[in-house]
Amino acid sequence: MSYNRWSCGGNEGQFKILKVRFTSLAIFASLGAAVLCAPNGARADYAVLRSGARLHISGYETIGDRVKLTVEGGSIDIAADELVSVEPEDHFTSVVTKPETIGPYSEMIHAAATKHGVDEKLISHVIAVESNYNPKAVSRKRAQGLMQLMPETAAKYSVANTFDPAQNIDGGTHYLKDLLAKYSGDVKLALAAYNAGPDTVARYGGVPPFTETQKYVRAITDKIAKDNAKPAVLAAAFPAVHSSAK
């Protein structure tokens, strides 16, 4: 973790220390001081608070015993000892074309969906958001593979090799099936638990108020909503064809 001190114009005594975190020297070299003075850059991190909350931030500064977190739409002022750490956001590079109904993993997804009774498109969307279809993806929290299984989850579902696409998809789908059963088919709660853990969902009595988790749930449920809207659009556009197909 590296920090740099800058003055963004005006009176330098106005702020004691302006700390802006960079995750690589390449970003520092290309963006320089301009990013430090413009917190709404493309790269964002997560501020982990002592309460367990994770806030999506684009920068932060320490002023005495307080920390000012820059978030979308403004800033939040907290006590310095409330900030546990700042974690970079995970970004994975896609290594295959994202499939709709066909693709490199379509047969594996179909097999897992049939075996565990989980919707194929739900599995596909989870893979897209979790790993961007990269079977070798590893997060900073040690989640691995296409469906980003934690080691303990992989062990629970007998996944010997988390980087094997078939094993990973089967284990992740089995976990999704159990979460859907736990929350009586509530997809939002199941996804929240997949992302933040069932204990966290229980603690907050629903989808946790974490930007990361809410963004995750929204990204997948929006895709599902679009999937479900397509047949209705086709039916409206071609009512005679749709009627004859029944």
pLDDT at 152: 97
- Residue 240 exposed, middle or buried by CB count within 10 Å (0-12, 13-18, 19+): exposed
Q: Exactly one of 87, 130, 152, 212 is catalytic; name it.
A: 130
Give the HSE-up count for residue 34: Cα atoms under 13 Å, Cβ half-sphere. 6
Q: Is 212 left (phi over 0), alpha (psi -120 to 50) or beta?
A: alpha
Q: What is the spatial distance between Cα 175 and Cα 109, in angstroms, rounded to a whole number?
A: 14
Q: Which residues have a Cβ under 8 Å from the Cβ of 184 and sit 6 or more positions away?
A: none
Residue type, 55: L
Contact 153, 207 (CB under 8 A): no
Contact 196, 210 (CB under 8 A): yes
Q: Which residues have a Cβ under 8 Å from the Cβ of 104 and sit 6 or more positions away?
A: 96, 97, 133
pLDDT at 62: 85
Domain 106-234 top-level CATH class:
mainly alpha
Cα 171 to Cα 88, 132, 134, distances in angstroms: 27, 18, 16
**pLDDT tens, per residue, the chain with 246 residues:** 433 333 334 444 333 333 333 333 233 333 333 333 333 334 567 788 888 787 878 788 888 899 888 887 788 889 988 888 888 766 555 554 444 445 579 999 999 999 999 999 999 999 999 999 999 999 989 999 999 999 999 999 999 999 999 999 999 999 999 999 999 999 999 999 999 999 999 999 999 999 999 999 999 999 999 988 865 544 554 454 444 444
pTM value is 0.59
Task: Find the largest Cα–Cα distance for the chain.
Answer: 76
**Active-site residue, 100 included:** no
Dihedral sign computed on CA atoms, order 161, 45, 122, 200: positive
Rounded to 10 degrees, the C-alpha dihedral 201/202/206/212 comes to: -20
Rounded to 10 degrees, the C-alpha dihedral 126/132/138/140 comes to: -80
Q: What is the spatial distance between Cα 235 and Cα 213, in angstroms, rounded to a whole number?
A: 34
User: Would you list the domain boundaries of the chain?
Assistant: 2-88, 106-234
pLDDT at 228: 86
